[in-house]
Chain A
Amino acid sequence: MTLQTTERSYSVSPTAASIWKRGRAIVLVAVIVVVAAVVPVLLPSGSTGGGSALDPGDSSLAGSKALAQVLGAHGVSVQRVDDVSTALAALGTDGQLLITEATDLTSSEAGRIAAAPADRLIVGQVPYLDVLAPGVISEVGGTSSRSRPPSCGLREANVAGSAYMGGSAFTGPPGSTGCYPSDGKPTLVRYTVDGRTVTVVGDGQFMTNLRLAEDGNAALAMNLAGTKPRLVWLVPPAEPDQPSGPDGSGGSDGSGGSDGAGSEPKSLGELIPSGVGWAIVELVVALGVVALWRGRRLGPVVAERLPVVVRAAETVEGRGRLYRARRARDRAALALRAATIDRITPRLGLPRTATPDEIVTGVSARTGEDPEQVRPALFGGAPADDAGLVALAGYLDTLERQVQDS
């Protein structure tokens, strides 16, 4: 039978208009989300420098840009240095070195600073204080920071008045001046050693943008930091940027070209040529293209309602397992005996209603087996164990075969 369709075929793929109609809401939401995410990033943000504490270039609350600008306005040149060697070179004789608690020093660096013939202003809890300011001992425990009166004869402190001091209290060497005492121990110590003025302050918060406008903080900071026409402000070195992707390697390649002859060991990322990173980007693009190629199905997945697959013997198998699990030898024996009796009674010429005695006599007469053996096999109790059950099944088979063959 060969037929031909009269029905017309029709396209069921979506048109561009229907795709736009369906997807425009999603596109709109996506655009809103992207705009909301991108605009705040693009807007000029108030902070630059990433919020590092006591940094003259940091305008966040923890930074000290305000102080640096005020110092600059009063004719003090503030030099922000993140390297001890550079700092010592820039210091000269008429400079003052400012070391804050944010500065991360090694013991050798501390030794080099201590040997430098310049004034030092040490703010906050700085390591190697015994090297940087010999004779000054920091009290164990520290004190809380709050507004304290100067209570001393130091001109800079008296002029400034109360300031936000605390942090740690010190015991100064003989001949030192201590101010802003907490429990009798000064939190600001100034003394002169080998012609250098060393000032130690327990807490640097009075110099931050947050606290500078309070009390006499600004005046104190000006008086302490502006004693010399040049202030070298030692800050921790910037975090080394991890070369992430092609941008990092490309950037380091650009700057690395000038000092490539340097003796510093290069990291693995710097040794890989920048082309490799970009080639990986290109391979990712290729992977995306391959994913699009393999991911596009040729037509839909066809689902089908299938009939149930259940084997008819499953109930019987389940019953067999139940017998086995419960060791139901009585029921098993009963079923086997009933089946044998059902099959042999017609062969013996007996009716279905035959009594056990008739069957036993019939079987033993036909087969020649002892009735005393036949009776327990056909009408006895449950076998004592599994071996007995197997033996019973075998014996019933034998009986049946003998009845059939005779």
Chain B
Amino acid sequence: MALTGRAGLLAALGALVVLFAPRPGLAVLGIVLLLAFLIVVDLIFAGGVRPLRFSREGERLVRLGQSVTVGLIVENPGTRRVRGVLRDAWPPSAGAAPRRLAIDVPRGERRRLTVTLTPTRRGDREAVTVTVRSLGPLGLAGRQGRHRVPWSVRVLPPFLSRRHLPAKLARLRELDGQHPALVRGQGTEFDSLREYVVGDDVRSIDWRASARRNDVVVRTWRPERDRRVLIVLDTGRTSAGRVGTAPVPTAAGQAEADRTDQGDGRRRPPPGWPRLDWSMDAALLLAALAARAGDRVDFLAYDRAVRAWLSGAARTELLSSLVNVMAPIEAELVEADSPGMVAAVLARAKRRCLVVLLTDLNATAMEEGLLPLLPQLSSRHLVLVAAVADPRVAAMASGRDTSEQVYDAAAAEQLRGERRRITSLLRRHGVEVVDALPEDVAPALADAYIALKAAGRL
């Protein structure tokens, strides 16, 4: 049961009547009884909420930053018209709009309502409940009831770095035999023989083959194919730190931007995106590129247990499977278990492959966790560590105006020195390192992959 503002207005108008009534005490009693009677009548004649039947239709997937509509079909098998308001409750970060919908379903009919979801973060969003308030003919009171109408929408990573994909694919084709500028050397394998066309490098003419035919034939080369790439995503505590500026407005960013720092009173910059999301973006670009280059891509997310594992996806469906697997992953606030991660990688990668480890170059975490175990990994596989640098640290390091800024700059340089030290240690172990700012990490990782491929080190 629920009352409306009209009932309150009626009660307030009753006060005027009481003011001028000859027997005010009786008038109050009469008005209260009348109001109660009208409310009861309204409740009796309001359409029933319990017999309503709901179903949903619409999208199940949405990229972060985009909107999606979900249809809600209301069927009224009852004996009375259901007129009132409906709220389709979703979690706040699903960004459901509008908050309440007007419904008017005559008996025996059905109506379709639409709710627009604009999610502000990744993951699965489950519809909570549908609440209907069915008002009576007088509009004084209504029946209210809730229904559970299951539906979930998976919010996928936005894959913003896909705008880099055409340029990187063009560079990949330069390696391939399809491009006129043939690059031949280590890491390329014999592809085919074809007729000589003007402009081809005369050094690539296969004289023996030409001798067998009446035509001049050249050899074409292409990079190695069917190599394996294993992308390992560290979902431990270091991935939870937020860096850069979020390309998609986040709920947390809004809340944080409105709050001022209590320490020094100045407004803090919005906290940006977690390292995890930037890493996912880079992983998606790398996976798209590697799939196009003919390599097989596997994906592992690990902190203290396997959070996600994707293997053997068909090339055409790799990206959609990957975003599906990535969508619900959140950074866990625990220290990543490096021995476990290395063991998981070794157990899964039987043959030599490129292990791309997306983590942070945190000095203590690296020295205690991964560094002692790297020889196990790098002896069997080629290891590439990609990390997201913090632009705020870079900004702090260039502060020179006041002593406060210089102290901050010293702290930032201290951190960058640690990162440089870790990077050189890793390189000494034969590990490739990509350390780039959030916006650049995806193309930088793609470049590193292409360079490795060109050098035939896969």
- Could you tell me if B408 and A393 are in contact, using CB atoms closer than 8 angstroms? no
State the CA gap A104–B21 with chains docked (Å). Answer: 43
Residues on A with C-beta less than 8 A from B402 are: 390
1/0 contact trace for B253-286 toward A, CB 8 Å?
A: 0011000000100001001101100000000000
Residues on A with C-beta less than 8 A from B148 are: 9-12
- Could you tell me if B146 and A304 are in contact, using CB atoms closer than 8 angstroms? no
Would you call A137 an interface residue if the criterion is a C-beta within 8 Å of the partner chain's C-beta atoms? no
Given A304-B93, A320-B412, check contact A275 B19 (CB 8 Å).
yes
Would you call B349 an interface residue if the criterion is a C-beta within 8 Å of the partner chain's C-beta atoms? no
- Could you tell me if B55 and A5 are in contact, using CB atoms closer than 8 angstroms? yes
Would you call B417 an interface residue if the criterion is a C-beta within 8 Å of the partner chain's C-beta atoms? yes
Would you call A261 an interface residue if the criterion is a C-beta within 8 Å of the partner chain's C-beta atoms? no
- Could you tell me if B271 and A311 are in contact, using CB atoms closer than 8 angstroms? yes
- Chain B count of residues within 8 A CB distance of the other chain: 96
Q: For B7, give its contact among A289, A300, A335, A390 (CB under 8 Å).
A: A289
1/0 contact trace for A308-319 toward B, CB 8 Å?
A: 111111111101
1/0 contact trace for A289-309 toward B, CB 8 Å?
A: 110110010111010101111
Nearest A residue to B72 via CB reads A9
- Could you tell me if A13 and B417 are in contact, using CB atoms closer than 8 angstroms? no
Would you call A130 an interface residue if the criterion is a C-beta within 8 Å of the partner chain's C-beta atoms? no
- Could you tell me if A393 and B406 are in contact, using CB atoms closer than 8 angstroms? yes
Would you call B160 an interface residue if the criterion is a C-beta within 8 Å of the partner chain's C-beta atoms? no
Residues on A with C-beta less than 8 A from B263 are: 321
- Could you tell me if B129 and A12 are in contact, using CB atoms closer than 8 angstroms? yes
- Could you tell me if A320 and B411 are in contact, using CB atoms closer than 8 angstroms? yes
Given A278-B18, A300-B129, check contact A290 B411 (CB 8 Å).
no
- Could you tell me if B27 and A278 are in contact, using CB atoms closer than 8 angstroms? yes
Given A246-B24, A279-B24, A302-B90, check contact A309 B150 (CB 8 Å).
no
- Could you tell me if B242 and A5 are in contact, using CB atoms closer than 8 angstroms? no
Nearest B residue to A340 via CB reads B413
State the CA gap A363–B57 with chains docked (Å). Answer: 71
- Could you tell me if B5 and A293 are in contact, using CB atoms closer than 8 angstroms? yes
Q: For A276, give its contact among B19, B242, B271, B330 (CB under 8 Å).
A: B19
- Could you tell me if A5 and B131 are in contact, using CB atoms closer than 8 angstroms? no
Residues of A within 8 A of B (CB): 1-5, 7-13, 15, 246, 250, 274-283, 285-286, 288-290, 292-293, 296, 298-300, 302, 304, 306-317, 319-324, 328, 331-333, 335-336, 338-339, 342, 352, 386-387, 389-390, 393-394, 397
Residues of B within 8 A of A (CB): 2-5, 7-8, 11-12, 14-16, 18-21, 24-25, 27-28, 31-32, 35, 49-50, 52-61, 85, 87, 89-93, 100, 121, 128-131, 133, 144-151, 240-243, 251-252, 255-256, 263, 268, 271-272, 274-275, 330-331, 333, 390, 392-393, 396-397, 400, 402-404, 406-417, 420, 424
